[in-house]
Structure 1
């Protein structure tokens, strides 16, 4: 696996984070390279002037943030993993951080942006949100260039750029990647609310979902299955690990009325959605006993502190299919659980989580199953 990006007279050592022993994927792709080469060959730095700055949106692991280290720039992301990866890779390459700011996508976008570089996100809803916010801080002389793998750029993608920015065209494909160019034009902008709200009838909850939250338009069927199969017990400290919009943790708040429930996700939008949903659907006294944390799983949490961890583990990081996130979650859960504490997960039947849990915990029980999902429980013992 190559860790050295050599491009436009720079050599950058870049790692994906969190790192694991058998990593096969590099920390940049051909879309990053295409964007960097276009920027340098067309001398877009001249567009910045003395006061203007570069805005980088959706940098995955820091290739863009590190390469443009000599320029005043802000990087915006919804991913805690991307944020921490960017910071670590900047330190690894001794990048100057005095002219650099990194922030989550829910914060106000910076002013005086003269060049915008965008990695096209996975979902159109999130792209639409980003361009809606971007439109508030750019002007007719701002250059907007996006990039992505060819299979991620569709007519609907270009339509969103047209809708919020202006006339849009694409480049030829290189190494299965493409560039998108949008001219900032004066136009009547839609005032639609991109966040969604829907109801869970059984609980009578109204669920708010920011643009980049998993299963933002409906209740995830895996999450529903876990909600219907929570363990019996008198749990006092519970974690909804990878909480998404928080419906599993909210079910835990309802099922264990005296428990403190901690909602954790690496998405800033997910954790904020969970926070909003708890406040909207629970009395103030109960919602005050909930905690909301943006983090890489339970990494850095105190050991032997929780008696129940609930998890619907993802099997993607960015666009890559991987099981190392689930591995990390299970290992971190075991560390964080008290003796006889329980980890309860839902997973697709074809994913071999039972074997993983048995190897980590020394035990695993099948709690429930249907045609698509299994509910598994592992208990921490010494």
Structure 2
């Protein structure tokens, strides 16, 4: 199958034998998924798509990203939108793969690929431009040992009386998002406090945080006594939420899940979310549409969905179709907080 995305079309035209190579943080593209090599990605949906085809695929934070004792003959890094995340990936690859391993770095010109040159130079990795086409550029270099530890990318900050863990590539990295702040202002009136300290499960409300990010909603809910489950498709977000809960000595589980993919058969008293609506620079309502459309199946009778979204997004129609009715709890012209109840 021919490549579907511009950056993969650039790679497809290379006179290269990519068999056995490691594909790092790629987009969804059938040319890759039906081809050769292994995957390393922070996107749970991409990892599962490769595994469904019987392909070797590892999560970004796996202890052994190469799966096999024989290292790959080379790697291709798809440069991310986040400059700091791109640096983390380079450090990770320098740490995980043998010195001298060929590395290609590919990306769209208006997606920040040229910034990779500065990062490579700062790490002492000389590179050359191999090709450019379809408004994309491909660089190549070789990996060498680097003294910096990729774990240094983790950071902490304080918000709402909580200590939050953060990592490049996680939504709202290093700060509290204004939409999340507006949502938190409305939640106390909607979700009564339980008694987690007493360990009395009958007083606890089961709450699901979809798109948990750095774990601010999960930790805030757990502090009020809710039995919290947090999910995110991003492996860094799942780990950030786990670290946030641990830093605040709060209970809760965090799972890598593509919206509800890991939650079959489970129902909750409430679902809260500040859902993502874009993938890189292209607007994509897919995850948020699934969040809303499938929410009734994951809510107990009388359960509620509470979410915050940019005011311009077309969520009212989705909420009306899924629940029959909804209400707007807050609107500051930038963000709206919606609530819908399963009847």
Per-residue CA shift, 1:90-123, capped at 9, x if unaligned? 3xxxxxx4xx521100013336332111211221
1:356–1:179 CA distance, 2 compared to 1 (3 A): same
**Which residue of 238, 255, 269 maps to 1:307?**
269
Which of 44, 55, 59 is the aligned partner of 1:104?
Answer: 59
Shift in Å at residue 155 of structure 1?
4.0
Structure 1, unpaired ranges of 5+: 8-27, 46-52, 91-96
In structure 1, how many angstroms separate the alpha carbons of the residues matched to 2:51 and 2:29? 8
Residue 190 of structure 2 aligns with which residue?
Answer: 232
Distance in 1 (CA, whole Å) between partners of 2:337 and 2:306 is 7
Q: How does 1:91-240 map to 2 (within 5 A)?
A: 97=54, 100-108=55-63, 109-110=65-66, 112-164=71-123, 166-185=125-144, 189-191=147-149, 193-200=152-159, 202-203=160-161, 205-230=162-187, 231-234=189-192, 236-240=205-209
Corresponding position of 1:332: 294
The SS at the match of 1:225 is: helix
Indicate the residue corresponding to 2:9 in structure 1. Answer: 33
> Please, which of 2, 25, 42 is the counterpart of residue 6 of structure 1?
2
Q: Is 1:361 aligned to residue 323 of structure 2?
A: yes
What is the rounded CA distance, in whole Å, between the counterparts of 1:181 and 1:326 in structure 2? 37
Distance 2:246 2:186 in 1: 24
SS at match of 1:114: coil
Cα distance in 1 for partners of 2:59, 2:266 equals 31
Cα distance, 1:351 vs structure 2: 1.2
Asked if 2 retains the 8 angstrom alpha-carbon contact of 1:199 and 1:207, the reply is yes
Q: Normalising by the residue count of structure 2, what TM-score does the alignment of the two structures yield? A: 0.87
**Tell me, what secondary structure is at the counterpart of 2:13?**
helix
How large is the Cα RMSD of the aligned pairs? 2.3
Query: 1 CA distance for matches of 2:16 and 2:190?
Result: 63
1:221 to partner: Cα distance? 1.2
Match of 2:211 in 1: 242
Establish whether residue 74 from structure 1 lines up as the match of residue 38 from structure 2.
Answer: yes
State the 1:300 CA deviation.
Answer: 5.4
- Report the CA distance shift for 1:175/1:342 in structure 2 as closer, same or farther (over 3 A): same
Query: Which residue does 2:236 correspond to in 1?
Result: 269
Question: What is the rounded CA distance, in whole Å, between the counterparts of 2:254 and 2:144 in structure 1?
Answer: 40
How far did 1:43 drift? 4.2
Count matched residues.
326
Residue 84 of structure 1 deviates from its aligned partner by: 2.1
Name the CA distance, whole Å, in 2 between partners of 1:44 and 1:65.
10
Deviations, residues 220-261 of structure 1 (Å, cap 9, x unaligned): 111111112104344611011111111012111223x1x211
With normalisation by structure 1, the TM-score equals 0.79
The answer as to whether partners of 1:74 and 1:102 remain within 8 angstroms in 2 is yes
1:43 and 1:299 mapped to 2: Cα distance? 35
How far does residue 191 in structure 1 lie from its aligned partner after superposition? 4.7
Contact 1:297 1:332 in 2 (8 A): no
8 Å contact 1:197–1:207 — kept in the other structure?
yes
Is the contact between residue 81 and residue 112 of structure 2 (CA under 8 Å) also seen in structure 1?
no
Residue aligning to 1:48: none
The 1:6/1:64 distance shift into structure 2, 3 A limit, reads closer
* Residue of structure 2 aligned with 1:321, choices 270, 283, 286: 283
Where does residue 221 of structure 2 map in the other structure?
Answer: 252
SS at structure 2 position matched to 1:118: strand
Q: In the alignment, does 2:342 pair up with 1:380?
A: yes
Structure-1 separation of matches of 2:59 and 2:341: 36
Give the Cα–Cα distance (whole angstroms) in 2 for the partners of residues 116 and 128 of structure 1. 15
